[in-house]
Amino acid sequence: MHDADEREAFLKAIFDAPDDDLPRLVFADWLDERGESDWAELIRMQCQIATALEARARERELIGQVFPGAGPQEPFERGFLQWKLIAIAAETLDDLPEFRRIALLQHPEWYGAAELKIVGGIIHSGKAIQTILINPITARVARLDFSGSIVHLDRAPPGWRVAAGPLLTIQDEYEYRPVVTVQAVEALVNSREARRLTHLDLRNNDLDNDAARAIVNSKNLIRLQSLHLFDGNQLRGRTWQQLLERFGPEVVQ
């Protein structure tokens, strides 16, 4: 068969099955044998691109079916969402079966999370702390974000003043919305499992010296690299200095 006849046979096969890459790839091999390697490379490359685009479209379709709440920009890798953060309300941690159900059915990526953040409610005592520290779901969590928030009330009377800070204007009235109590902090730092913690954020919880002293005296906070405690808490006397002496100014903030 002459080259023209072979070429025509390939072209007929290609356009008889326009959605099938195989005739195009066979044709690319034939082109290579005849010195038309650039066209052969183009065919292979665009077949790969088309396959990748089809796979990407199917991937987004499957993500939407398996994880209906996942946004289009959320990172997935080999079938799992790659967020390394557990963001959860405090009261859910008081109900271990419910916490486990949510993790198993809605957020399997939590089993690989490195950080946990409380996004509502208050941890009052040690029950939720034990759920965090002794649980397969949170076994890799080494960062705890227990930071509360400051709410501006916008009803300060004339002349009423508070100390200005980066988040407060000079005549604002405000209140703290804590997410953790002194008792919960004491339960946390007195737990042996707290030895794995590297980052602890306790800002804006209106904690007092009792919480700070428990942290200073803890034998378990041996890996801390970051401790946020100064902002939004009521530390007095030598307590702050004791924190600095125990952990160092590069850790305590």
Residue 106 has pLDDT above 70, yes or no: yes
Among 66, 98, 118, give the residue marking a domain's end.
66
> CA 45, CA 176: separation in Å to the nearest integer?
59
Among 66, 86, 105, give the residue marking a domain's end.
66
Phi, psi of 188 (to 5 degrees): -65, -55
Tell me the β-bridge partners of 176. 150
Check residue 166 and give its pLDDT. Answer: 47
Residue 17 has pLDDT above 70, yes or no: yes
Helix extents (H) in the chain? 3-16, 21-33, 37-66, 96-105, 126-133, 182-189, 209-217, 239-247
Residue 13 has pLDDT above 80, yes or no: yes
Interval 168-212: pLDDT, tens: 444 457 788 999 999 999 999 999 999 999 999 999 999 999 999
| 113 and 137 housed in the same domain | yes
176: three-class secondary structure by DSSP: strand
Contact partners, residue 117, CB within 8 Å, separation at least 6: 85, 86, 87, 88, 145
Domain for residue 73, yes or no? no
Mean pLDDT of 42-57: 91
Check residue 67 and give its pLDDT. Answer: 82
Among 21, 36, 66, give the residue marking a domain's end.
66
| 124 and 234 housed in the same domain | yes
> Pseudo-torsion of CA 224, 230, 232, 236, nearest 10°?
120
CATH of the domain at 171: 3.80.10.10
- Provide Rg for the chain, Cα atoms: 30
Check residue 105 and give its pLDDT. Answer: 86
Contact criterion met (CB below 8 Å) for 225 and 251: yes
Check residue 74 and give its pLDDT. Answer: 78
Q: Which residue has the higher pLDDT, 158 or 61?
A: 61
200: three-class secondary structure by DSSP: strand
Q: What is the mean pLDDT of the chain?
A: 88
Nearest of 129, 124, 134, 122 to residue 144 by alpha carbon? 129
Question: Cα 156 from chain centroid?
Answer: 37
| 33 and 124 housed in the same domain | no
Nearest of 230, 236, 237 to residue 251 by alpha carbon? 230
What's the pTM value of the predicted model, to 2 decimals? Answer: 0.74
Mean pLDDT of 144-163: 68
Q: What's the total number of domains in the chain?
A: 2
Domain for residue 71, yes or no? no
Domain for residue 252, yes or no? no
| 88 and 60 housed in the same domain | no
Domain for residue 72, yes or no? no
| 216 and 134 housed in the same domain | yes
Domain for residue 214, yes or no? yes
Q: Give the residue numbers spanning the domain of 62.
A: 3-66
Domain for residue 49, yes or no? yes
> CA 62, CA 59: separation in Å to the nearest integer?
5
| 16 and 134 housed in the same domain | no
The pLDDT confidence band at residue 64, using thresholds 50, 70 and 90, is confident
Domain for residue 253, yes or no? no
| 107 and 207 housed in the same domain | yes
Residue 73 has pLDDT above 60, yes or no: yes
Check residue 59 and give its pLDDT. Answer: 85
| 135 and 223 housed in the same domain | yes
| 217 and 119 housed in the same domain | yes
205: three-class secondary structure by DSSP: coil
Contact criterion met (CB below 8 Å) for 180 and 215: no
For residue 159, the number of C-alpha atoms closer than 13 Å in the C-beta half-sphere is 0
Q: At what angle do helices 209-217 and 182-189 cross, to 10 degrees?
A: 0
- Length of the chain measured in residues: 253
